[in-house]
Chains A and B, each alone.
Chain A
């Protein structure tokens, strides 16, 4: 399953919508999309992961990179992560590092 990415702006948020699988092959695309969102001039950057069926540690590393590029957990949100995304964040002991919200 390929990774589909799009960008939406809602108020002071720029949200990257991700759909599909995030792995070593597709995580560079997610990285580009997040860095682009960071430059959109909004206060906060979000990544909607509700339709991500699979994510590996390269996806986790990409999200950590986004967290750092956007200026920290106050300005970088994970929106409605799917159960499989939550599981890999928990296994990586990083679920408490991110700000996770159900919606923006």
Chain B
């Protein structure tokens, strides 16, 4: 992350906790003056990134750890998500064409990446060489 970290949380890779993670993100963004509409979009996009870690990197194993950092500075709000699961293949994380987006609707991982790219001003996805994924999602703050 470029911005200073304000909050860092670790959570177990279970879908049951996603609503709690969303609450943290929603609260942080609201307190940083992000408009309600944009808060909704960002919460959705980060939730999709968490879902990808649980479903794809960890293949649904619910006893692994996912880390989320939130920070702000220099006109940016940054959210970084890290897992230590299987690195994502390039095909799944690349930007999609409009036709491919609709076709991806039945594969949540694929649609999730589209939502992440749509919502943020800057996205850097770094799959590890042998293990783990880091996704840095950046939003210009007002």
A56's partner among B51, B98, B114, B118 (CB-CB below 8 A) is B51
Q: Which residue of B lies closest to A20 (CB)?
A: B19
| Number of B positions contacting A (CB below 8 A) | 29
Binary CB contact string for chain A from 53 to 95 against chain B (1 if under 8 A, 0 otherwise) = 0101110110011000000000000000000100110011110
Q: Which residue of A lies closest to B55 (CB)?
A: A24
| Number of A positions contacting B (CB below 8 A) | 21
- Which B residues are within 8 Å of any A CB, using their own CB? 14-16, 18-19, 22, 37, 40-41, 43-44, 47-48, 51, 54-55, 98, 101-102, 105-108, 111-112, 114-115, 118-119
Q: Given A23-B18, A24-B55: A64 and B40 within 8 A (CB)?
A: no
Which of B111, B115, B118 has the largest number of chain A CB atoms within 10 A?
A: B111
Number of contacts between A and B (CB, 8 Å)? Answer: 72
Q: Given A64-B105, A92-B101, A93-B102: A25 and B15 within 8 A (CB)?
A: yes
The reply to whether A93 and B115 form a contact with Cβ atoms under 8 Å apart is no
Please give the distance in Å from A51's CB to the nearest CB on chain B: 16
Residues of chain A from 4 to 45 with CB closer than 8 A to chain B in the complex: 21, 23-25
5 shortest interchain CB distances as A-B pairs: A25-B15, A24-B15, A57-B111, A57-B108, A58-B108
Q: Given A56-B48, A91-B118: A21 and B105 within 8 A (CB)?
A: no
The reply to whether B19 and A60 form a contact with Cβ atoms under 8 Å apart is no
Please give the distance in Å from B53's CB to the nearest CB on chain A: 11
The reply to whether A57 and B40 form a contact with Cβ atoms under 8 Å apart is no
The reply to whether A57 and B112 form a contact with Cβ atoms under 8 Å apart is yes
Cα–Cα distance between A56 and B81 once the two chains are bound (Å) = 18
Please give the distance in Å from B9's CB to the nearest CB on chain A: 17
Cα–Cα distance between A57 and B119 once the two chains are bound (Å) = 14
Cα–Cα distance between A1 and B23 once the two chains are bound (Å) = 10
The reply to whether A54 and B22 form a contact with Cβ atoms under 8 Å apart is yes
Cα–Cα distance between A94 and B54 once the two chains are bound (Å) = 24
Contact residues in B for A94 (Cβ distance below 8 Å): 102, 105
The reply to whether A65 and B106 form a contact with Cβ atoms under 8 Å apart is yes
The answer to the question of A97 belonging to the interface, with a C-beta cut-off of 8 Å to chain B, is: yes
The reply to whether A93 and B112 form a contact with Cβ atoms under 8 Å apart is no
A92's partner among B19, B55, B115 (CB-CB below 8 A) is B115
The reply to whether A60 and B18 form a contact with Cβ atoms under 8 Å apart is no
A57's partner among B14, B48, B54 (CB-CB below 8 A) is B48
